[in-house]
Structure 1
Amino acid sequence: MSTPLAGRAALVTGAASGIGLATARHLAAAGAAVLVADIDADGAKRVAGELGGAAWIADLADLDAVDRLGDFLAANRFPAPDILVNNAGLQHVAPIERFPPERFGRLLRVMLEAPFRLVRQVLPAMYERGFGRVVNISSVHGLRASPYKAAYVAAKHGLEGLSKVIALEGAAHGVTSNCINPAYVRTPLVEDQIADQAAAHGISADEVVERIMLAPAAVKRLIEPAEVAELVGYLCSPAAASITGASLAMDGGWTAH
């Protein structure tokens, strides 16, 4: 493939697996130097080694650690990111009255507050260069709600709003900010949900996918991580300079209802 991102640096969170891994590989193939951020130390180092990038081992629920990004960049001589992909996420499924408050708080820290803190650190250098791309991996649950996912839905709805504010503030500086809103993607997070749902409902994994996960969608299949990565790559390219403040549904027709 061509290398439209040659000379650019990208930070991808949750990049040791799933969408983050596919995105890190895609951006590296497009010429970007990639900083692989993940709580999984072995996974992050393995992916960084594969891509010739660097690994930042960080628990994004630890906001003090998130705020030390600049120290890490300086110590490892990694350039200030031109591209930030906020991808890291986790899930907890429970009715509100039984939803542990500490889990609710952790989900919001990882998927909303950490993206805010990362953005505020990388924007000054983006503004100075007159170029920046912020891509937030939201979800169809940033556009629609589902029962038993209070923290995930709240975090993704908040991320949608944050992304739009970044877009409005960054436009004059050559910085775009967008959300990608996939339905269920074939990732370890979703595979775990399938197993949990199968056990809870007493049905097979295939039945969970067909009868529960894909019920609202017109396209009856899981999305592959590489498909999401392709859209991330486009949004980071010069061709997408006028796309900002958008929420791009990749949901198999879920939100067409």
Structure 2
Amino acid sequence: MRDLSGKTAFVTGSVQGIGLEIAKALGGAGAAVALHGLASAAEAEAAVEAVRAAGAPEVRFFAGDMRDTGAIDAMLAEVQAWGDVDILVNNAGIQHTAPLAEMPRAVWEAVLAINLSAAFHTMQALMPAMATRGFGRVINIASVHGLVASKDKAPYVAAKFGLVGLSRVAALEYASAGSKESGGVTVNCIAPGWTETAIIQPQIEARAAAHGGDRDAGIAALLGEKQPSLRTSDPAEVGALALWLCARVAHNVTGTTIPVDGGWTAQ
């Protein structure tokens, strides 16, 4: 059901964290994987080796600044020359916290460009060929902040809400492409809550220090504010969900946003 042999996946922001785990899951199912990120040569090679070790038959790294439309176009041309993209995962993103009145305009523009506009550009470039082939999967990594807001995150929340809306429009436009047999073309969002990535480690460490070094207690204190399960998610769990969405049996799962948030958005 989850055999992706013969398919090619392109995962943006995939040298670490959620993006890398998604790339490993897809590669482990037999897909050739195009990785992406702003990374050193050593970081890129480490990511390539990790995805290859997971079972991917082919892996290649592509660099590109997602704020720059010219760079995106050039990168996509290279990716498409390498292989027809059947699975697109838009994971690249940045965040900056500050009150609305103090948010730098340049930060607003950068967050919107990377977290939202870049997904529009990749989808616009790659989805028509998916429709022609009768199979395609677009998985956009949104956030609980694409469903609910938090203070001091205006550009991030705006971008993630926009990504959810963009995904719904694309899902409707491509809903009739392909068939049950071919797998169709679907567009979905995954909306993680607190997930064990590098971006939250400083917050966990600070909370743990306030609880005598007890990391579990620190996590519970941090998550208790919003995530009822009091448990973080592992990036590999998001990877497993992304892999399921790529299965042909998921041909009618489109236009959805699936929270992985321990009940955060159920409140």
Structures share a fold, TM > 0.5?
Answer: yes
TM-score normalised per structure 2: 0.87
Higher mean Cα deviation, 103-112 or 184-193?
Answer: 184-193
Aligned to 1:57: 63
Instruction: Check whether the contact 2:204–2:222 (CA below 8 A) recurs between aligned residues.
Output: no
2:152 to 148, 170, 174: 148
Q: CA deviation at 1:193?
A: 5.2
Residue pair 1:108, 1:155 contacting (<8 A) in 2 also:
yes
2:93 touches 2:115 (CA, 8 Å); kept in 1? Answer: yes
Q: Which string of whole-angstrom CA distances, capped at 9 and with x for unpartnered residues, describes residues 186-239 of structure 1?
A: 1112225556xx49xx95785764334442222111110010000000001112
Residues 126-183 of structure 1, C-alpha deviations (whole Å, 9 max, x = no match): 0110110000111111100000111111110000001001100111212100011110
Equivalences for residues 1-257 of structure 1 within 5 A: 4-42=3-41, 43-50=43-50, 51=52, 52-73=58-79, 77-173=81-177, 174-192=184-202, 194=204, 198=206, 203=210, 206=215, 209-257=219-267
Judged with a 3 Å threshold, the aligned counterparts in structure 2 of structure 1 residues 203 and 147 are, in CA distance, closer, same or farther, namely farther
For residues 35 and 150 of structure 1, the distance between their equivalents in structure 2, rounded to whole angstroms, comes to 31
Unaligned regions of 5+ residues in structure 2, if any?
53-57, 178-183
Quick check: 150-159 or 60-69, which moved more?
60-69
2:64 & 2:202 partners in 1: Cα distance? Answer: 22
* Structure 2 residue matching 1:154: 3-state secondary structure: helix
Alpha carbons 2:186, 2:253 under 8 Å: kept:
yes
Q: 1:238 to 1:143 in 2, by over 3 A?
A: same
Kindly tell me the number of residue pairs found equivalent between the two proteins: 250
Residues 6 and 30 in structure 1, CA contact (< 8 A), matched pair in contact too:
yes
Task: Give the AA of the match of 1:17.
Answer: Q
Task: Give me the TM-score of the superposition, normalised by structure 1.
Answer: 0.91
- Shift of the 121–193 alpha-carbon distance from structure 1 to 2, 3 Å rule, reads farther
Q: More deviation in 53-62 or 132-141?
A: 53-62
**Is the partner of 1:135 in helix, strand or coil?**
strand
Q: Alignment RMSD, CA only? A: 2.0
After superposition, the Cα gap between the structure-2 partners of 1:208 and 1:146, relative to the gap in structure 1 and judged at 3 Å, is farther
Q: Distance in 2 between matches of 1:63 and 1:178?
A: 23
Q: Does the 8 Å contact 2:2/2:247 carry over to 1?
A: no
CA contact (8 A) 2:14 2:36 kept: yes
- Are 1:15 and 1:24, in contact at CA under 8 Å, matched by a contact in 2? yes
Deviations 1:33-81 (A, max 9, x none): 000011114323322244240100112122211122343135xx41121
- What secondary structure is seen at the aligned counterpart in 2 of 1:167? helix
